A and B are shown apart, each in its own frame.
Chain A
Amino acid sequence: MGYLNAIIILGGINIIAALGVAIITGYTGLFTIGHAGFMALGGYACAILVTTFHVPFAIALIIGGLFAGLCSFIIGVPAFRSQLRGDYFAIATLGLSEAIRLILNTTYKVVGGAFGFMGMSNLTTVPVVVIAVILALFFAHMFVTSQYGKNCIAISQDEVAAQMMGVNLLRTKLIALFISAFYAGVAGGLMGFYMAYLSPSFFTITRSSDLLAAVVFGGIQSLIGPTITAFVLVAVPELLRVFSEWRLIVYGLLFVIIMLFRPQGLLGYVEMNFAFARRWWNAVFTPHQAKQGTIKGDQ
């Protein structure tokens, strides 16, 4: 049972962080291999708030997320101003995340340096994670279907056209990055209070690339795809412990195969929607109205 709990919790945490990456990479079209850095920022901020300042866990999680979001501007403002795109932006995010990790690794005073930050209790339980994942999915869905989200999608499809149509690129990308980093920060906070300690070694480039892999495999412009793959990518190596060393090689292979045969990802452009549930509901409970609820041209 404990083993299953571990998979659910770690899978849930990975889902939340991957949803963050989905917003910036899947929907806005900016590749990031630095979200481990934002997880670290959120995780440490949350841990310090709870242990030192006795802030309630839920509030500390949100503040940790906000802190990670604000720190994302450190890389966001200069990178978006100079119109960094594609690989260049990815490398910039990698640089920030490695800088964060190294700073944490060598700062012994408050955050414990390479020994890690200890003294947290195990507050991240299965119900907490499940609620957090549901909220994360709900709000991510709200964002990507809002006018803000649609502006992000437009940027990912044709940046020049989006700008010519009056979309403020800098502001829109910063909003997407902020929300994305917020998600990563919350995931980091949850992780610290599951592990009961935090170490800079949790937040290496491997974790960032795992998150990117979840989004690329799961699908561009989809929330449900990355959600599924983020969970699977945690669960499968856990279940097949023997092969966990081979995981990165398998990822690499999968990357190549997916890029060749399905560049939009497994569920690319498949919007998570509840139309099927509504149809089912209509069919079962209000059969005489089922035909009136046809969707107008917008979806």
Chain B
Amino acid sequence: MSDSIFAMKNVSSEEISLKNLSVQFGGVRAVDNFSMTLYPGELVGLIGPNGAGKTTVFNLITNYIKPTSGEIFFMGKSLLGKSPDEICRMGISRTFQNIRLFPQMTAYENVELGLHNVPHYSLLEAFVRTPRARRAEAETRKRALELLEMVNLKDFAGERASSLPYGLQRRLELARAMATSPTLLLLDEPAAGMNEDECNELVKLIRQIHEHMKYTIIMIEHHMNVVMELCKNSRIYVLNLGSLLAVGSPKEIQTNPQVIKAYLGERKHARYNSNAGSQ
């Protein structure tokens, strides 16, 4: 099925494509022959039961884990053999399932780091802080505060990241990911641990970022409301036990019997059907 998509569209316009990606840890195939293609500006969801290999897909894209076989192309260039930092500088940024901020740095410094992952001045200039270096730092500061404002964290700029409440840490991670000026954003469970209200707020924020910054976004999420809402005009990929189970619009996914089976199991599946029948 994925082959037909490749045939239909011009290959060079793809933002990212994973082709027959597999990775094996010992005897376990964490990701098995997974393919996925995104075009610029798309926002797609990646869902699946726990242990389906969703985060592993992100780790493969950022080359934190090396694939056993398969290929990854980003803007027409292969990502295999590139180090995670190179991949980041090519324009792929991510957040983490278990928040990975720099705990002892302030919120502002966390965002700033994404901006100066390659320092804007030479080492010698760092020692004497030439006017050029100071200007570069002032510019970085301005940009970091802008990003913090975008995720409504400006008031917390001076707070230590570890002292922020959980929900704000998630948003800070988002701001930090945006700081590396990516074109592709990988969001790993941005709504994890959030309540209904926070989820709605997050949906608004992600949609705003997506429209405003023209990012391509892949989002792993367990909150179905969030995924269904954000991906309503695009697709959702469903992973189960490492392989692609289904792909389609939120509606198609919600009614796909295989997806329901993977999530709820065989017996509950039968009950679900009978419930659906009675309604």
Which A residues lie at the B interface, using CB under 8 A? 139, 142-143, 146-151, 153-154, 157-158, 160-169, 175, 221, 269, 296-299
**Contact at A150–B113, with CB atoms within 8 Å?**
yes
Central interface residue in A142, A147, A157, A166, by most chain B CB within 10 Å: A166
Known: A175-B123, A296-B157. 10 other contacts (CB 8 A): A139-B127, A146-B119, A146-B129, A147-B119, A147-B137, A164-B85, A165-B88, A165-B114, A269-B104, A299-B158
Q: Does B145 contact A (CB under 8 A)?
A: yes
Does B214 reach chain A (CB closer than 8 Å)?
no
Of B15-23, B92-100, B227-235, B239-247, the one touching chain A: B92-100
Residue in B93, B120, B127, B176 with the greatest tally of chain A CB atoms within 10 Å: B127
Tell me, in angstroms, the Cα distance from A161 to B180 when the chains sit together: 12
B175-201 to A contact mask, C-beta < 8 Å, 1/0? 011011000000000000000000000
How many Å lie between the Cα of A157 and that of B114 in the bound state? 14
B154 cross-chain contacts in A, Cβ below 8 A = 297
A147-B126 contact given A153-B105, A162-B113, A297-B158, CB 8 Å threshold: yes
- B78 interface residue (CB < 8 Å to A): no
**How many angstroms between the C-alpha atoms of A128 and B65 in the bound complex?**
52
B residues less than 8 Å from A150 (CB atoms): 105, 109, 112-113, 116
B41 within 8 A of A: no
Min CB gap B35→A, angstroms: 24
Q: Is the CB–CB distance between A157 and B108 below 8 Å?
A: no
Identify which of A143, A147, A167 contacts B127 (C-beta below 8 A).
A143
Contact B85–A168 (Cβ < 8 Å): yes
Q: Is the C-beta of B73 less than 8 angstroms from some C-beta in chain A?
A: no
Q: Which 9 A-B pairs have the closest CB atoms?
A: A297-B157, A166-B117, A166-B88, A146-B126, A147-B119, A147-B116, A161-B100, A157-B102, A297-B158
Given that A142-B128, A147-B126, A151-B117 are known contacts, is A298 also in contact with B102, CB under 8 Å in the complex?
no
Kindly list chain B residues whose C-beta atoms are within 8 Å of the C-beta of A221: 104
Give the residue among A147, A158, A175, A221 with the most B Cβ atoms within 10 A: A147
Q: Indicate if the CB atoms of B62 and A164 lie closer than 8 Å.
A: yes
25 residue pairs from A and B, CB less than 8 Å apart: A139-B127, A142-B128, A143-B127, A146-B119, A147-B116, A147-B119, A147-B120, A147-B121, A147-B126, A147-B136, A150-B113, A153-B102, A157-B102, A158-B101, A160-B100, A163-B84, A164-B64, A164-B84, A165-B88, A165-B114, A165-B117, A166-B114, A167-B117, A297-B106, A298-B108
Q: Which of A157, A163, A166, A298 contacts B118 (CB 8 A)?
A: A166
Report yes or no: B126 in contact with A157, Cβ–Cβ below 8 A.
no
Among B85, B100, B177: residue with most chain A CB under 10 A? B85
CB-CB under 8 A from B76, the residues of chain A are none
Residues of chain B with a CB closer than 8 A to A148's CB? 119, 123, 126
Q: Min CB distance, A22 to chain B, in Å?
A: 15
Q: Determine if B145 and A297 form an interchain contact, defined as CB atoms under 8 angstroms apart.
A: yes
